[in-house]
Structure 1
């Protein structure tokens, strides 16, 4: 059975790829809700997709599962298109959004962008929120992001998992890059998801899926490998951040891209903690070579391009 047949009425999944997170539109009798808004370079497309999915329902509520740029970068555009859009964010970074602290929000340290947006309320783990005509449980899901939440609709057993669980893994564990122990939090969140017994999972990236046990098994296997070798996780994280930027800009000289990475805080953080035995520029160049070997990028005549 495909996942569409298992979704509760009114739920539409907009699968977006990897620069933008997936968007979930939930239509109700009197309006619509949106979960996550993608990256800023796709904001115009996000508005169009949401408007089409909402149909004759006006978007009234916007929820962010967490505040990484690929999940909230379209907030400002959605708020502009639908003035009065009630926006809810996870607790923990409310002051950073209110004061627009782009360092605390990780936009500056990762070299990413997000237009300023407003919010009205914070989500409360342990409580429920009405989205469309459905009541969704809010659960804290630290690990990938310490402030992240996941949303669970218990009647249909539908889980909006954000980056806590994908079909083939989970998102970078940023606290580990910053020197804080967080792999145990990832494990606890995976246990939480297993305990909820979802029948269908709507992830932050990639296709929705129904074989939750298999996905949990793959995620735990990856987590165990990272816990045994945290440098492996750190290297993977650096390559993900490089690929993200390349998806945004599409093409750049190798020299300029290496210089950008050297000036971006997270790369220096990872390099100093795990790879300082190699000059930073050489380490970054080796990561680009790995991306080329994997088919995620190409280099021709000194130009690096997305592939």
Structure 2
């Protein structure tokens, strides 16, 4: 995992914006500084990385005249984007702002509605304080960050755009080489899949309309070739629309890696048993791969990930993420 990047496109950021980029499976975090009222943190990474996130934030704030955090703003509530909320809000005494649609679920900590139960992910409980309404502004220093709805990967996701700097926080609506899993599409229902893909397309069109000069994605390095990224994203979207089974397989492998990231290392049989009991994994298997035994299909996915170097298998049959 990397710490605060000092080279590449992140060096093009204004001095009042700090990018915290980590390994692929934990989301990027962005610190928006203000010397008078403290910083805003956009997304807080995976729960298993919360101590690292805290250390990175403290390090980035330490040289500042006002080394405090006044607000955590989440682009969406997948656990790799909000897993550090609880620890950071406790340490800094700051409020948490989340997109509309899941405010009540987060307030009551309904893990089914928050998708944590169905995906087998864990997120330390936190209490939301504010709603990030699309069309509103996050005023930070002399900048005004526009909040915009960008569903597709998540129906409640938002992106942030700051016109003066041209910085776009695209979350998982756009990466340099694609976009996040389209969760409605993994249900195996034709209508839900098409709706999810249509929302991705609408969000890409929204991003294309913005005069963005530097993009901070939810995962991976910052980039400034917006046209190229959009072209690659549309190509991938067209492929997944025509091949929903390929998208489902991609989603299944991504969810395996998130689970491995959470458990760290686990005997293969225990990992497979737990995975088979995970509702989303079951739904993917039933919708697209039920011609195979569920255990055999799961083992096939693990073998593919191992061959591609994404996970490793020890002589003791322990699985761990690379």
Distance of aligned partners of 1:174 and 1:245 in 2 relative to their CA distance in 1, 3 Å threshold: same
In the alignment, which of 262, 269, 279 is matched to residue 248 of structure 1? 262
Q: Which residue number in structure 2 is paired with residue 226 of structure 1?
A: 240
Q: Which residue number in structure 2 is paired with residue 199 of structure 1?
A: 213
1:214 aligns with 2:228: yes
Whole-angstrom distance in 2 between the partners of 1:106 and 1:177: 13
Do the aligned residues in 2 keep the contact of 1:29 with 1:133 (CA within 8 Å)? Answer: no
Q: Which residue number in structure 2 is paired with residue 97 of structure 1?
A: 106
In the alignment, which of 290, 299, 304 is matched to residue 319 of structure 2? 304
Mapping for residues 107-122 of structure 1, pairs under 5 Å: 107-122=116-131
Tell me the C-alpha RMSD between the 2 structures.
1.4
Mapping for residues 146-185 of structure 1, pairs under 5 Å: 146-178=155-187, 179=189, 180=192, 181-185=195-199
1:125-173 CA distance string (max 9 Å, x none):
1121113441000110000000000000011111001111111111101
Whole-angstrom distance in 1 between the partners of 2:290 and 2:278: 16
1:100-136 CA distance string (max 9 Å, x none):
0011111111111111101111011112111344100
Whole-angstrom distance in 1 between the partners of 2:206 and 2:232: 16
Whole-angstrom distance in 1 between the partners of 2:44 and 2:11: 24
Q: Note the C-alpha offset of 1:306.
A: 2.0
Unaligned runs of 5+ in 1: none
Q: Note the C-alpha offset of 1:2.
A: 4.9
Do the aligned residues in 2 keep the contact of 1:19 with 1:248 (CA within 8 Å)? Answer: no
Q: Note the C-alpha offset of 1:250.
A: 2.8
1:47 aligns with 2:54: yes
SS at the partner of 1:292? helix
Whole-angstrom distance in 2 between the partners of 1:262 and 1:2: 41
1:59 aligns with 2:65: no
Do the aligned residues in 1 keep the contact of 2:138 with 2:144 (CA within 8 Å)? Answer: yes
Q: Which residue number in structure 1 is paired with residue 31 of structure 2?
A: 25
Q: Which residue number in structure 1 is paired with residue 20 of structure 2?
A: 14
In the alignment, which of 255, 275, 297 is matched to residue 283 of structure 1? 297
Which moves more between the two structures, 12-21 or 91-100? 12-21
SS at the partner of 1:257? helix
Q: Note the C-alpha offset of 1:200.
A: 0.2
Whole-angstrom distance in 2 between the partners of 1:134 and 1:17: 29
SS at the partner of 2:209? helix
Q: Which residue number in structure 2 is paired with residue 79 of structure 1?
A: 89
Whole-angstrom distance in 1 between the partners of 2:96 and 2:215: 23
In the alignment, which of 282, 287, 301 is matched to residue 273 of structure 1? 287
Unaligned runs of 5+ in 2: 1-6
Distance of aligned partners of 1:67 and 1:212 in 2 relative to their CA distance in 1, 3 Å threshold: same
Whole-angstrom distance in 2 between the partners of 1:131 and 1:106: 31
1:284-305 CA distance string (max 9 Å, x none):
1111011011111222433323
SS at the partner of 2:260? helix
Whole-angstrom distance in 2 between the partners of 1:132 and 1:266: 42
Do the aligned residues in 2 keep the contact of 1:142 with 1:185 (CA within 8 Å)? Answer: yes
Do the aligned residues in 1 keep the contact of 2:45 with 2:84 (CA within 8 Å)? Answer: yes
Q: What TM-score, normalized by structure 2, do the two folds share?
A: 0.92
Q: What TM-score, normalized by structure 1, do the two folds share?
A: 0.96
Whole-angstrom distance in 2 between the partners of 1:5 and 1:289: 38
